[in-house]
Chains A and B, each alone.
Chain A
Amino acid sequence: GPKVLQIPSHQIIDMGQMVTLNCDPVSNHLYFYWYKQILGQQMEFLVNFYNGKVMEKSKLFKDQFSVERPDGSYFTLKIQPTALEDSAVYFCASSSDWGSYEQYFGPGTRLTVL
């Protein structure tokens, strides 16, 4: 079936550094999402993105976070600067349309901030 890829699978960085998480969504999808899952806790919505714009973001999407998809390349989540509480698994998802359409998830990037 359709696959979403995420690069890297694991990233370890020092607090205060910048990190970019990359997502290669399903090829014909236009709607993109990031979710955050702290170990053992609930998956939580961060942001959704369409047509080059953030459509909605949650309280977890702090000012240090940004997303973009330049020229149809990777959909990225950038955190600058990172904080200890940013340690989590970040999942990217994409869907073919808005609404109650299935979201396809990538395998996640495990971010460890030291």
Chain B
Amino acid sequence: QEKVQQSPESLIVPEGAMVSLNCSFSDSASQSIWWYQQHPGKGPKALISIFSNGNKKEGRLTVYLNRASLHVSLHIKDSQPSDSAVYLCAVSTINTGNYKYVFGAGTRLKVIA
């Protein structure tokens, strides 16, 4: 059974800071890892995904994946108050040909103007 752990639990940063969020998973055969953003009272919204070792950059977001250490991180450059939300790491897993997400508990980010 895949386990997904996120750290830190919460984070408060000033506007403009670089934010780093971490996610560890247990199954090296996991498929893609997704990062979702969830605002209060809303459903999660996909931000970025990664499958291969290395990094991927989209706008202010960069994600790093290291399958050997079972670790993925999300970095948000030049953070804005509108980035304040819960960030969820979702690991896509396969079981007998069926796919599902296993979610971490999330990191609550607050960006102060």
Q: Is A48 an interface residue (CB 8 A)?
A: yes
Are A107 and B42 touching (Cβ within 8 A)? yes
Are B100 and A48 touching (Cβ within 8 A)? yes
* Residue of A whose beta carbon sits closest to that of B95: A56
Are B101 and A103 touching (Cβ within 8 A)? yes
Q: Is A28 an interface residue (CB 8 A)?
A: no
Chain A residues lying within 8 Å of B36, measured Cβ to Cβ, are 105
Are B101 and A107 touching (Cβ within 8 A)? no
Q: Is B59 an interface residue (CB 8 A)?
A: no
CB of A90, distance to nearest CB on chain B (Å): 11
Are B88 and A43 touching (Cβ within 8 A)? yes
CB of A111, distance to nearest CB on chain B (Å): 15
Chain B residues lying within 8 Å of A44, measured Cβ to Cβ, are 103
Count residues of A near B (Cβ-Cβ below 8 Å).
23
Query: In the complex, what distance in Å separates the CA atom of A108 from the CA atom of B34?
Result: 19
Chain A residues lying within 8 Å of B101, measured Cβ to Cβ, are 33, 35, 45, 103
Chain B residues lying within 8 Å of A100, measured Cβ to Cβ, are 31-32, 49, 51, 92, 99
Are A107 and B43 touching (Cβ within 8 A)? yes
CB of A47, distance to nearest CB on chain B (Å): 9
Chain A residues lying within 8 Å of B51, measured Cβ to Cβ, are 100
CB 8 Å contact bits of A12-50 with B (1 = contact, 0 = none) = 000000000000000000000101000001111100100
CB of A48, distance to nearest CB on chain B (Å): 6
Chain A residues lying within 8 Å of B104, measured Cβ to Cβ, are 42
CB of B67, distance to nearest CB on chain A (Å): 14
Q: List 16 A-B contacts (CB under 8 A).
A: A35-B101, A42-B103, A45-B100, A45-B101, A45-B102, A48-B98, A48-B100, A56-B100, A91-B43, A98-B99, A100-B92, A100-B99, A102-B34, A102-B46, A105-B43, A105-B45
**Residues of chain A having any CB pair with chain B under 8 Å:** 4, 33, 35, 41-45, 48, 55-56, 91, 93, 98-100, 102-108
Q: Known A-B contacts: A35-B101, A35-B103. Give 14 more (CB < 8 A).
A: A4-B43, A41-B105, A42-B104, A42-B106, A45-B100, A45-B102, A56-B98, A98-B98, A100-B31, A100-B51, A102-B46, A104-B46, A105-B44, A108-B42
